[in-house]
Structure 1
Amino acid sequence: MLKKHFCIALIYLLSFGAVKAQSTDANMGIIPAPVSVTKGVGEFVLSQETVIAADSLDNKAVQFFISYLKDKEALRNPVKANNGNQGNNLIVLTSVGTDGLAPEGYRLTVTPQRITVAGKGTGLFYGIRSLMQLFPPEHGATIKLPCVEIEDYPRFGYRGLHLDVCRHFFGVEFVKKYIDLMASYKLNTFHWHLTDDQGWRIEIKKYPKLTQVGGMRAQTLLGSYRAKGAQYDGIPYSGFYTQDEIREVIKYAADRYITIIPEIEMPGHALAAIAAYPELSCDPERTYKVAETWGVFDDVFCPSEKTFSFLQDVLTEVIDLFPSKYIHIGGDECPKEAWKKSAFCQQLIKKLKLKDEHGLQSYFIQRMEKFVNAKGRSIIGWDEILEGGLAPNATVMSWRGEEGGIAAAKQNHNVIMTPSSNGLYFDHLQGPRNIEPLSIGGFAPYPKVYNYNPVPAVLSADQQKYILGVQANLWTEYIATEDKVEYMVLPRMMALAETAWSPLAKKDIKDFDLRLPKHFAWLDEHGYNYRVSKAIGAVDTLTIGSKLTVDLKPPVVGAKIYYTLDGYKPNENTLLYEHPFAVDIPEGESRELQTIVITPTGHQSLTSRTVMTNRPLMPAVTFEANTPGAKYKMVSGSFTEAAQLDDAPVIDSGVTKTFNTGSFRKNKAYGVIFSGYIRIDNDGKYLFSSRAGDGSVLMIDDQLILENSAKNADVRDGGEVLLKKGTHKFTLKYFNTTNRAAALHIYMQAPGKPKGELSAETIYN
């Protein structure tokens, strides 16, 4: 039967070209979708004779647009002050008539005679950005723009994107490029994660060892930190921003109407600082080093007067640099072991009459908040700052699901939603783990980002007002290069932008998909390393039939689609898709269509794989026992693949009603073979998938269905099989690769039903 790694691909129902998109798309190709779009008749022809008239030529939004046009070799537009006179062949940039617009709102009007962009400050800039998105990908000395009237404003005032530069460092020029991307899609807040266990990345004049010592680690972990037998590269790793560089980036962002919020982690994620200044720890006699691997560490700031003095000095310099209202102080993932062992901390808990170490963390956060408030600023913290009591004026960034944000809003505290489980962690996978770059795990394709609503329905109307906005985070444990940053961010950042900006009623994933190809073409032209979508119409699936119909469209304007029907992977040397076609499949045979997209600059999509079979479903086997539960054999050994379990020594056996591997963990190196029979209720296609922290293999009737044997957690690969109604043999092999009690979950999706988790109780022996 078929071995298959499964990924649900989007089915695109509309064909698309750059011109056709603007004529059929209700949002004129603009991302994020505007509040109101009214199409007009005709077009405006922009040429070298077109005059730009602006209220103020010194306005930074105006200067940005003038610079943008100058970069286009065919255009050299004259610029003049706007005197209010009517005229033809004008682009008018003005604040006149904008009194009724919402904050950051704009009005864009295109007629055959003139273009008017009206907005105040940021609104004018965003109106210009939308105008730029109306430009066709390719043009010469003239640009034809469709007539339209757009009135637009954001749903949320906070629209954020985060970048961790501690695990891996990215220089000033790349940070500027990142900010440019944000500005292109109307995101307005850059969360700059500057300190962590693996590196301190901001110069602090009073404490030079923070960057001299804390800014360098001796080496870096290779591969997943969950894997058994950790290996390191042996290469020193360093990097930090001088204060002058920080100022340069702040100005660059401000010129694009983006606020930068710095994050200085406390009281946890502090190992780099403690390595530089051990007296900040609860055990200053120890020798510390900057973390060389990932995860959470027990070494945290000690809540002593020395530590508070140090952090106040640090934040004083940070606040002097950053004009933002908010300072992010972290507050997440702070283990309490060091505090539990510290006589000083235990005495402090008693002295302050605190309940426990969670109360001590609350005391720590509240004390730092008072200092930040005294400087005229406010703090943001991850949702752990709720534990032990929330600081009086704190804003909560809810990342461990929505619960923290809901709790904070109910306490009348401002909230920024960034739940990792809702697609907003851009370090998570965009597709099957076996074909995606190494990732921390999770699953967050861009439709998941797009479909997220940051306002929980459980909140009352008054409580919902405390949801300031939404943010996505990019943690860089497994992102060492600029190209990979771009791959992980694009196109998910565009989905984030529409979630943050567009009215809920305007969101439509099919329309969003219709607009993407033009934006992909823009990314391609400008050299971004985005994740190329598969061909429109290509679906990773196993299906039944006698005729395979192939009807595809490129997901990027100007891209080519190559395909194979012989089981080999496609590339630029295989068949070029030029028009729809059909393949007849003789009875008893199968055909496999594989496709790949290659863009004009050589970027490639992942390979899609569609298998159609014209043969009978796998027949049921004869089996009459009705005892629920799977048989198991626990074997001893260190394994790298499932086949090794068959000949390993058996150390335990029996019947179980759970696939919970924690109950089998008697050795550090072990494997388990589950076996039995599964009942299939109806003829059809069944999808099996798994989520595991270690290796797992599933076989139905001795045929391999899915195989997850790599050293990575949170696996979500799957396989499909065509089954006849009745009983089928079930074999599940699991082996430990991480020396920890990892979870094992098996899922099945039956025809016409949602995916559900299989329990060992549903297996019979």
Structure 2
Amino acid sequence: MDAGMICIIPEPASCTVTGGSATVKVDAAYYCDAAFDKVAAYLKVKIGEMAALWITRVTKKEDAIIQILRDEASKEGNPERYTLVVSADRIVISATGEAGAFYGIQTLLQLLLAPDKGRRAVGKAATIPCVTIEDEPRFRWRGFMLDEGRYFLGKEFVKKLLDVLARYKFNVFRWHLTEDQGWRVAIQKYPNLVDVGSKRKGTSVHRNMPFLKIDNIPHEGYYTKDDLKEVIAFAAERFITIVPEIEMPGHSMAALAAYPEYSCTGEPFEVPSTWGVKKDVYCVGKDKTVAFLKDVLDEVMEIFPSKTIHIGGDEVPKDRWKACPDCQARMKALNLPSEHDLQVHFTNDIAHYVASKGRRIMGWNEILSDNLDPSAICQHWTGPVDPIVKALEKGRDVVGSLSEFVYVDLRYDKVPMKKCYAYDPAYPGISEAARAHVLGIETPLWGEVFQSDKQAFWYAFPRALAIAEASWTPAGRKDYARFVSKVRNHVPWLEAWGVTCAQERWWDAAPSPWRKFLMRLSRVFWLPSCYDTFPFTF
């Protein structure tokens, strides 16, 4: 068997097939160093669930076929690095840190899975090829973003998604928890944020033409502090950091419906049922608005241990600020030439406040400015690359999320899997020093397109696997044709785990003229909120 027969996603940095095979019996023994007790316990559970092998821990290394060992020779190495050596009588995972051992376990589990829907028959031993794998990620930020501000799915779905993402070595989960259409995190000091802001009267059934139809089905949902801490702990066990996003100063209608005094007009609002960018945003000319947002961030930072707090910053219309006496007075007092500079001032104020708590902010690339606080992370989702390259060369950290490559809420014909796989945020022509500031890739799943677990998974998978490999695998090791052949094996496993995947005909094929016609009709006549491709696949 050659390395091409090894069906691991993401593709390891180095994989050598050494010949022969190892057999793991149903009641095989395993051993781990004390530093890896937690990840070994995870292996024991998952190898039973996924491969029907009921392994037992032993205290002597020589008695175990599976060994998880601390690499004492490279204590200062990358904590996500691991080595997996499978020989005829031993399977040895060695790593510097727990994360590396965890990723070695994920690779081993993929080697053990049977083609039969990812689960072996009970009572049957597993045979895997002898290999030597030396592996570490290309990027340190391998992220997936879920938008529950627009549609709330709940913690059981989120935990299921996190479990699957961990199997493919994602390490950041960005949680978009506030939007115009919903506020999803309980803030003790401001109860109306969920009492009012988490509820709306209906939902637009069309993403691109929201004025056509509202379903008039009430939608609501939010997370308590205990809910959030439960999910955070679940993610941490899988070496995933949850980065919360609290949108400001735009995408804030749900909060303004709860507390209209923090808007420029003070007029009463409803939580919108339609999509699209709204003109009403936080009034950053009022001290009380900024104090409110800092209070909210205090509670968010008490819940989330992440060192990064995302504040959005995208799609902020300046109409209200231009007509607002408070905003104009602030601009005059600070000698700010434009409303854009007012947003930069506000963003820096929030950045300094968050920094005083030992954190840093992150925002969409609209926050970029020569005067922006240097610690702020830029998330590049749209627009020309020149400002991004300029920011990188000045030492700003950047996460790549260019919409036409990695937005998995877009139709498969707009963002095919091949395009996701090809995405590389290491912008050509940048210096080596600037390249070090490219943190990695994040793929967003925006909430206009789903109203169920099944729909959300359908949009994300298997495209998320392409993002996993683009984020982890060295550029020179990527091979799309081989990746597709691996995906064909992984889809039955995903389906067995309850993850609905798009059928292969959607992955890369451009729609036929007839299908294009049907997709256009769906925008006018089809009632569920998912659009274009989804209704014609089931």
Common fold by TM > 0.5: yes
1:171-221 deviation per Cα after TM superposition (whole angstroms, max 9, x unaligned) = 110000110111010000000000010000000000000000011111111
Are 2:212 and 1:211 equivalent residues in the alignment? no
Amino acid at match of 2:365: D
How many angstroms apart in 1 are the aligned matches of 2:422 and 2:143?
17
Aligned with residue 243 of structure 1, among 207, 213, 225: 225
- Partner of 1:114 in structure 2? 90
Structure 1 residues 150 and 382: CA distance shift in structure 2, 3 A: same
SS in 1 for 2:488: helix
- Partner of 2:419 in structure 1? 448
Structure 1 residues 173 and 74: CA distance shift in structure 2, 3 A: closer
SS in 1 for 2:34: coil
- Partner of 2:168 in structure 1? 185
Do 1:160 and 1:190's aligned partners in 2 also have CA atoms closer than 8 Å?
Answer: yes
SS in 1 for 2:520: coil
Please identify, of 259-268 and 459-468, the stretch whose mean Cα deviation from structure 2 is larger. 459-468
Aligned with residue 526 of structure 1, among 487, 494, 497: 497
1:299-329 deviation per Cα after TM superposition (whole angstroms, max 9, x unaligned) = 0000111011101110000001111110001
Amino acid at match of 1:289: E
How many angstroms apart in 2 are the aligned matches of 1:515 and 1:181?
16
Q: Larger C-alpha radius of gyration, 1 or 2?
A: 1
Do 1:217 and 1:236's aligned partners in 2 also have CA atoms closer than 8 Å?
Answer: yes
Structure 1 residues 236 and 355: CA distance shift in structure 2, 3 A: same
Quote how far apart the aligned CAs of 1:386 are.
Answer: 1.0
Do 1:359 and 1:388's aligned partners in 2 also have CA atoms closer than 8 Å?
Answer: no
Quote how far apart the aligned CAs of 1:528 are.
Answer: 1.6
- Partner of 2:367 in structure 1? 385
Structure 1 residues 533 and 334: CA distance shift in structure 2, 3 A: same
SS in 2 for 1:223: coil
SS in 1 for 2:372: coil
Name stretches of at least 5 consecutive residues in structure 1 with no aligned partner.
Answer: 1-22, 432-442, 542-607, 610-688, 690-703, 714-735, 738-765
Aligned with residue 323 of structure 2, among 330, 335, 341: 341
Amino acid at match of 1:181: V
More helix by share: 2
Do 1:27 and 1:33's aligned partners in 2 also have CA atoms closer than 8 Å?
Answer: no
How many angstroms apart in 2 are the aligned matches of 1:165 and 1:24?
43
Quote how far apart the aligned CAs of 1:125 are.
Answer: 0.2
Quote how far apart the aligned CAs of 1:98 are.
Answer: 5.2
Structure 1 residues 36 and 97: CA distance shift in structure 2, 3 A: farther
More strand by share: 1
Are 2:258 and 1:276 equivalent residues in the alignment? yes
Quote how far apart the aligned CAs of 1:390 are.
Answer: 1.8
- Partner of 1:413 in structure 2? 396
Are 2:453 and 1:482 equivalent residues in the alignment? yes
Structure 1 residues 711 and 348: CA distance shift in structure 2, 3 A: farther
Alignment of 1:679-718 (within 5 A): 710=520
Are 2:68 and 1:93 equivalent residues in the alignment? yes
Please identify, of 33-42 and 137-146, the stretch whose mean Cα deviation from structure 2 is larger. 137-146
- Partner of 1:79 in structure 2? 57
- Partner of 1:62 in structure 2? 40
- Partner of 1:586 in structure 2? none
Are 2:474 and 1:498 equivalent residues in the alignment? no
1:26-81 deviation per Cα after TM superposition (whole angstroms, max 9, x unaligned) = 36110000011110121111113421011128722111001113336853322023
Aligned with residue 7 of structure 2, among 29, 45, 49: 29
Please identify, of 229-238 and 39-48, the stretch whose mean Cα deviation from structure 2 is larger. 229-238
- Partner of 1:464 in structure 2? 435
Structure 1 residues 27 and 256: CA distance shift in structure 2, 3 A: farther
Are 2:279 and 1:298 equivalent residues in the alignment? yes
Structure 1 residues 297 and 51: CA distance shift in structure 2, 3 A: same
Instruction: Answer 1 or 2: higher relative contact order, Cα 8 Å, separation at least 6.
Output: 2
Aligned with residue 17 of structure 2, among 39, 44, 50: 39
Alignment of 1:330-409 (within 5 A): 330-387=312-369, 389-401=371-383, 403=385, 404-409=387-392
The count of residues paired between Structure 1 and Structure 2 equals 515
Structure 1 residues 95 and 49: CA distance shift in structure 2, 3 A: same
- Partner of 1:223 in structure 2? 206
Quote how far apart the aligned CAs of 1:392 are.
Answer: 2.9
How many angstroms apart in 1 are the aligned matches of 2:189 and 2:6?
53
Name stretches of at least 5 consecutive residues in structure 2 with no aligned partner.
Answer: 526-538
How many angstroms apart in 2 are the aligned matches of 1:147 and 1:217?
56
Do 1:226 and 1:712's aligned partners in 2 also have CA atoms closer than 8 Å?
Answer: no
Are 2:163 and 1:157 equivalent residues in the alignment? no
Do 1:491 and 1:530's aligned partners in 2 also have CA atoms closer than 8 Å?
Answer: yes
Do 2:207 and 2:448's aligned partners in 1 also have CA atoms closer than 8 Å?
Answer: no
- Partner of 2:108 in structure 1? 131
How many angstroms apart in 2 are the aligned matches of 1:57 and 1:366?
41
Quote how far apart the aligned CAs of 1:705 are.
Answer: 12
Do 1:224 and 1:711's aligned partners in 2 also have CA atoms closer than 8 Å?
Answer: no
Alignment of 1:248-267 (within 5 A): 248-267=230-249
SS in 1 for 2:411: coil
